[in-house]
């Protein structure tokens, strides 16, 4: 409990509002439905979000499966991307001028079949903060490489992704 309070004390007001909104199941459901409808259909969820880490999940179900009886790689990619994007979104909340960001590279490795609910954990919050500070200090785009690891419920690693996000401060 105290770590949650400590974490909230390090977030800005805008970041706390964003975090609360994204972790609310109904708000996230609406966000997914309107912004990432394929993720909504797949059942993608944001499980936790703080300044250092984000965890997402996607279930193994009929609509997500491939002919090999595992979660289709594109479905895994959506949930993996969300675990990195949520961290970037959290860190850029309230920045003036605002920050634009986009994926510029993606690398993926699939090691086992994803045959159950798969959780993606990205612990790159500090890297995002450093890249954001560099971007704001120089006015130049900054790229951050965020690794996220996908595990099924028994802890077996099924995939690893590295998303490269480019961040650029918008004109004043």
Check pLDDT > 50 for residue 91.
yes
Q: Report the first-to-last Cα separation within the chain, whole angstroms.
A: 40
pLDDT of residue 4: 46
Residue in 124, 79, 93 with CA at minimum distance from that of residue 19: 93
Check pLDDT > 70 for residue 6.
no
Residue 1's pLDDT band (boundaries 50, 70, 90)?
very low
Assess contact for 52 and 90: CB atoms under 8 A: no
State the average pLDDT over residues 72-78: 97
Is omega for the bond preceding 50 within 30 degrees of 0, making it cis?
no
What is the CB neighbour count within 10 angstroms for residue 101? 22
Assess contact for 145 and 166: CB atoms under 8 A: no
DSSP code at position 44: -
pLDDT 10s digits, 108-133: 999 999 999 999 999 999 999 999 99
Check pLDDT > 80 for residue 10.
yes
Assess contact for 73 and 9: CB atoms under 8 A: no
Structure tokens at 45: 């969820």
Structure tokens at 66: 């491939």
pTM: 0.91
Q: How many residues does the chain have?
A: 172
Residue 9's pLDDT band (boundaries 50, 70, 90)?
low
Which residues lie below 8 Å from residue 35, measured CB to CB, with a gap of 6+? none
Strands 118-122 and 99-110: unpaired
What is the CB neighbour count within 10 angstroms for residue 73? 13
Domains annotated on the chain, with CATH: 2-169 (3.10.129.10)
């Amino acid at each position: 409990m105290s770590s949650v309070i400590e974490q909230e004390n390090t977030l800005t007001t805008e970041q706390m509002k964003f975090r609360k909104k994204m972790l609310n199941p109904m708000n996230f459901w609406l966000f997914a439905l309107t912004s990432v409808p394929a993720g909504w259909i797949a059942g993608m969820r944001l499980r936790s979000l703080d300044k250092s880490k984000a965890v997402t999940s996607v279930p193994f179900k009929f609509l997500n499966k491939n002919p090999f009886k595992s979660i289709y790689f594109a479905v895994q990619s959506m949930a993996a991307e969300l675990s990195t994007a949520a961290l970037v979104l959290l860190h850029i909340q309230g920045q003036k001028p605002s920050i634009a960001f986009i994926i510029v590279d993606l690398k993926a490795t699939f090691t086992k079949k994803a045959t159950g609910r798969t959780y993606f954990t990205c612990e790159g919050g500090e890297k995002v903060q450093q890249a954001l500070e560099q971007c704001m200090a120089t006015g130049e785009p900054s790229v951050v490489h965020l690794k996220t690891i996908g595990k099924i419920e028994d802890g077996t690693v099924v995939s690893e992704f590295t998303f490269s996000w480019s961040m650029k401060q918008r004109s004043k």
